[in-house]
Amino acid sequence: MTVVYKKSGMLTDAPFHYCPGCTHGIAHKLVAEVLEEIGAEGNVVGVAPVGCAVFAYNYFNCDMQEASHGRAPAVATGIKRVRPDTVVFAYQGDGDLASIGMAEIVHAAARGEKITVIFINNAIYGMTGGQMAPTTLEGQKATTCIYGRNPEINGNPIRMCELISTLTGPTYVARAALCDPANVRKAKKMIKTAFEHQLNKKGFSFVELLSACPTNWGMTTEQAVDYVKNDMQSIYPLGVFKEE
Amino acid sequence: MGKITIEKERCKGCGLCVMYCPKKILALSDKETNGNGYFVLTVVDESGCIGCANCAVMCPDSVITVER
Amino acid sequence: MKQLMKGNEAIAEAAVRGGCRAFFGYPITPQNEIPEYLSWRLYEVGGCFVQAESEVAAINMVYGAAGAGARAMTSSSSPGISLKQEGISYICCSRLPCVIVNMVRGGPGLGGIQPAQSDYFQATKGGGHGDYHMIVYGPNSVQECVDIMYDAFDVSEKYRVPVMILGDGMLGQIMEPVELPEFKDLSKLPRKAWATYGDNKGKDRQIINSLLIEPDVLERHNHLLFDTYKEIADNETMCEEYLCSDAEIVLTAYGTVARIAKSAVDILRSRGIKVGLLRPITLYPFPEKAFIKVAEQDCVKEFVCIELSMGQMIEDVKISTQMKKPVKFYGRVGGNVMTPEDIVKFVTEEDK
């Protein structure tokens, strides 16, 4: 018998701090597996965000920088500009990327920085305890909109892939969902394509991953993946939004 | 024919693996807990494993190694 | 050979010769000639320049580039420096060497675009959240800007503490003859063991981080930072003493104001009044020893602290002199600059 699946060598042995059923862990694995497959080991710097993934620097088995809230694309820009032949990626959540860091992500994309950004959209602020995120769905409950997000009061969710794909700088923009094995395998393919765009110095590459947060959604694992599959995907359709 | 190895101390008992096992041979134990107090993954029927790796693909904590 | 250069451009060229290979900035008056110059100059020497979307992004680009081992810098002016403060706090905690130039303009708020020294507190006391300092220089001429900028990366890298050059609108815009130094040989610089070059694997991997969530670890880190500041105070403090040995009145000022004060000293001396000047060149660490030494001279009756602010450095003067002699204050704000005669008038009328 041969091993067909094992933990990636691009992950450290540190156990993830994420809650049970949180799909951040799946996203970490996919990025690590892709880094291994493209031979990035020994030539990669990752940038961790502020939010649930703040400790990502403990998990990726490579040089890492921890950015201030929302600024991971700016930090990644600084790294990539002085190390243009090094693979540079940023890993960000929805509050980090689509709220406080909106300027940084849009401008890094517009400049066509040759970096890869992995965007975890779980429609909630996890680390701080379940507040409304920029991507929280209409009607979705959060601790700062306890009756559900009301656009009249709380505004509307932001679709990042659609927004980013209007810019000239990105060459690959895609959205996947971490809700079942088939979709996870698709997500991995997209992440790999995104990193290949960087390796080929094509342009900015961006993959959004719809992700489950059972803890802050107040759901079981099963309910949470159903929510990703049905509710989230109806607002955030999957697919490749731009490929050049 | 497949075989899975479970690193039980890393398991958080979320059940994503159980949900997506096509052969329904996985379950969360209702007795056995690990050092963190989680009810851990167990294999109900080892002979039924086809080595598809769905469980490992879905595991957020890299608990499962799959052989085929 | 000396050449005539504008302060901002001279700083930019000195940065390049001192090893700067990455600049990230955002336009703001009165420092625009620095990014304008470096936008083309850095590409001539294999470096990079990015006009960032904001000062916030610019300082975080510096964080990334400095963390990846490059000699990176940014420049701005007062409101822009306020925006950079969060990033500077992260840079200080993560112990990343870099250079930040602040060509101060009058405030608060949007303020004006004329020279001021009203960012002294912000520069020397930390500026952002948490306990930290930068090494802060207050040069008084274009040549001194060049000399300090030229060595700034060496000093910053030696201690892993960022350097801030605190100028003002006048220093940035004035044209003076300067002697430019030779290019530093970057190939001789050692590899930075802590930097994320990307080629560290496994147990050798490096993490640039300012999250220290264990109280004991964070406390130890704070002590480490302050041990470093003490070492810097011992080794790097700079101060100019001018005619202080027999002075009865000691003027104290930094930056361009110190030049005006020096002219006032000469006028007053020509009238037989024994006046001297004590000019801090490093504002942090503040030259405490030089100040207490002069304050303890029997001949010294008083200090006059002169600033383009409502009185900021005067606090350090009072602390450093341990109030052994009275410290008077003369300041102009809003972008107004005093003349030597104004200072002469203040000193002579105050003493009637």
Give chain C as a 3 state SS string. Answer: CEEEEEHHHHHHHHHHHCCCCEEEECCCCCCCHHHHHHHHHHHHCCCEEEECCCHHHHHHHHHHHHHCCCCEEEEECHHHHHHHHHHHHHHHHHCCCCEEEEEEECCCCCCCCCECCCCHHHHHCCCCCCCCCCEEECCCCHHHHHHHHHHHHHHHHHHCCCEEEEEEHHHHHCEEEEECCCCCCHHHCCCCCCCCCCCCCHHHCCEECCCCCCHHHHHHHHHHHHHHHHHHHHHHCCEEEECCCCCCEEEECCHHHHHHHHHHHHHHHHCCCCEEEEEECEEECCCHHHHHHHHCCCCCCEEEEEECCCCCHHHHHHHHCCCCCCEEEEECCCCCCCCHHHHHHHHHHHCC
My answer on whether C178 and C321 are in the same domain is no
**HSE of C200, CA atoms in CB hemisphere, 13 A:** 23
State the Cα–Cα distance between residues C180 and C171, nearest whole angstrom: 17
Its sign, for the CA torsion A227, A232, A234, A237, is negative
**Nearest-CA distance C205 → chain A (Å):** 5
Residue of chain A whose Cα is closest to the Cα of B12: A20
Domain assignment of residue B31, given as a range? 3-67
My answer on whether C14 and C139 are in the same domain is yes
Residue of chain A whose Cα is closest to the Cα of C213: A55
State the Cα–Cα distance between residues C39 and C140, nearest whole angstrom: 26
Question: Given C236, C252, C268, which residue is the final one in a domain?
Answer: C236
- In this complex, the residue of C56, C61, C201 whose CB is nearest that of residue A77 is C61
pLDDT > 90? residue B41 = yes
Encoded tokens for C91: 């840079």
**CB within 8 Å: A21 and B65:** no
pLDDT of residue C170: 93
My answer on whether C253 and C186 are in the same domain is no
pLDDT of residue C25: 98
Nearest to A236 by CA among A147, A131, A160, A152: A160
State the Cα–Cα distance between residues C144 and C140, nearest whole angstrom: 6
State the Cα–Cα distance between residues A84 and A103, nearest whole angstrom: 22
pLDDT tens string, chain A, 244 residues long: the values are 999 999 999 999 999 999 999 999 999 999 999 999 999 999 999 999 999 999 999 999 999 999 999 999 999 999 999 999 999 999 999 999 999 999 999 999 999 999 999 999 999 999 999 999 999 999 999 999 999 999 999 999 999 999 999 999 999 999 999 999 999 999 999 999 999 999 999 999 999 999 999 999 999 999 999 999 999 999 999 999 999 9
Beta bridge partners of C164: C100, C136
Where are the domains positioned within chain A?
24-243
Q: What are phi and psi of A172, to 5 degrees?
A: -145, 120
- In this complex, the residue of A58, A65, A104 whose CB is nearest that of residue C208 is A65
Beta bridge partners of C187: none
Position C239, amino acid: C
Q: Is residue C87 within 8 Å of residue C62, measured between CB atoms?
A: yes
State if pTM tops 0.95.
yes
pLDDT > 80? residue C351 = no
Q: How far is CA C151 from CA C19, C96, C158, C174, C177, in A?
A: 9, 16, 11, 22, 19
**CB within 8 Å: B16 and A6:** no
Indicate the helix (H) or strand (E) that contains A153: helix A151-154
Domain assignment of residue C122, given as a range? 2-236
Domain at C244, CATH number: 3.40.50.920
The β-bridge relationship of strands C72-76 and C99-104 is parallel
Q: Can you tell me the mean pLDDT for C202-211?
A: 96
Position B27, amino acid: A
Which residue in this structure is represented by tokens 């690193």?
A: B7
Which residue in this structure is represented by tokens 């927004």?
A: A163
Nearest to A143 by CA among A155, A157, A120, A125: A125
Q: Which chains touch A (3 or more CB pairs under 8 A)?
A: B, C
- In this complex, the residue of A1, A2, A181 whose CB is nearest that of residue B20 is A181
CB-count exposure of residue A235 (10 Å: 0-12, 13-18, 19+): middle
| C62 lies within 8 A of chain A by CB | yes
Tens digits of residue pLDDT in A122-179: 999 999 999 999 999 999 999 999 999 999 999 999 999 999 999 999 999 999 999 9
| pLDDT more than 90, % of chain B | 99
Instruction: Please give the tally of structural domains in chain C.
Output: 2
State the Cα–Cα distance between residues A188 and A177, nearest whole angstrom: 10
- In this complex, the residue of B14, B57, B68 whose CB is nearest that of residue A185 is B57
The β-bridge relationship of strands C175-179 and C2-6 is antiparallel
My answer on whether C22 and C133 are in the same domain is yes
Q: Can you tell me the mean pLDDT for C84-97?
A: 98
Residues of A in contact with C200 (CB under 8 A): 42, 62-63
Residues of C in contact with A82 (CB under 8 A): 21-22, 48, 65, 68-70, 72
Question: Given C218, C236, C254, which residue is the final one in a domain?
Answer: C236
Residue of chain A whose Cα is closest to the Cα of C207: A64
Residues of A in contact with B47 (CB under 8 A): none
B22-31 long-range contacts, CB within 8 A, separation 24+: B22/B50, B22/B52, B22/B54, B23/B48, B23/B49, B23/B50, B24/B48, B25/B49, B26/B55
**CB within 8 Å: C57 and A65:** no
State the Cα–Cα distance between residues C284 and C281, nearest whole angstrom: 9
End-to-end CA distance of chain C: 48
> C352 pLDDT band (50/70/90 cuts)?
low
**HSE of C173, CA atoms in CB hemisphere, 13 A:** 11
> C350 pLDDT band (50/70/90 cuts)?
low
Average predicted confidence (pLDDT) for chain C: 97
**Nearest-CA distance B45 → chain A (Å):** 18
My answer on whether C18 and C44 are in the same domain is yes
My answer on whether C52 and C198 are in the same domain is yes
Q: Which residues contact C210 (CB under 8 A, 6 or more apart)?
A: A66, C89, C90, C93, C94
Q: Can you tell me the mean pLDDT for C270-291?
A: 98
Encoded tokens for C227: 């041990």
Residue of chain A whose Cα is closest to the Cα of C47: A82
Q: What are phi and psi of C17, to 5 degrees?
A: -70, -25
pLDDT > 60? residue B24 = yes
**Nearest-CA distance A207 → chain C (Å):** 21
CATH class of the domain defined by A24-243? alpha beta
Confidence check on the interface: ipTM exceeds 0.90, yes or no: yes
**CB within 8 Å: A62 and C50:** no
pLDDT of residue C99: 98
My answer on whether C214 and C250 are in the same domain is no
My answer on whether C199 and C301 are in the same domain is no
Domain at B62, CATH number: 3.30.70.20
Q: Is residue C226 within 8 Å of residue C233, measured between CB atoms?
A: no
Q: Which chains touch C (3 or more CB pairs under 8 A)?
A: A
Q: Which residues contact C349 (CB under 8 A, 6 or more apart)?
A: none
Question: Given C194, C216, C236, which residue is the final one in a domain?
Answer: C236
Instruction: Please give the tally of structural domains in chain B.
Output: 1
Mutation target vs C (from A65, A97, A167, A204; most C CBs, 10 A cutoff):
A65
Q: Which residues contact C221 (CB under 8 A, 6 or more apart)?
A: C93, C212
pLDDT > 80? residue C155 = yes
State the Cα–Cα distance between residues C44 and C291, nearest whole angstrom: 44
My answer on whether C280 and C140 are in the same domain is no
My answer on whether C230 and C273 are in the same domain is no
Encoded tokens for C184: 């530093």
Q: Can you tell me the mean pLDDT for C318-342?
A: 98
State the Cα–Cα distance between residues C265 and C276, nearest whole angstrom: 6
My answer on whether C174 and C293 are in the same domain is no
Q: Is residue C76 within 8 Å of residue C24, measured between CB atoms?
A: no
Count of CB contacts below 8 A, A vs C?
139
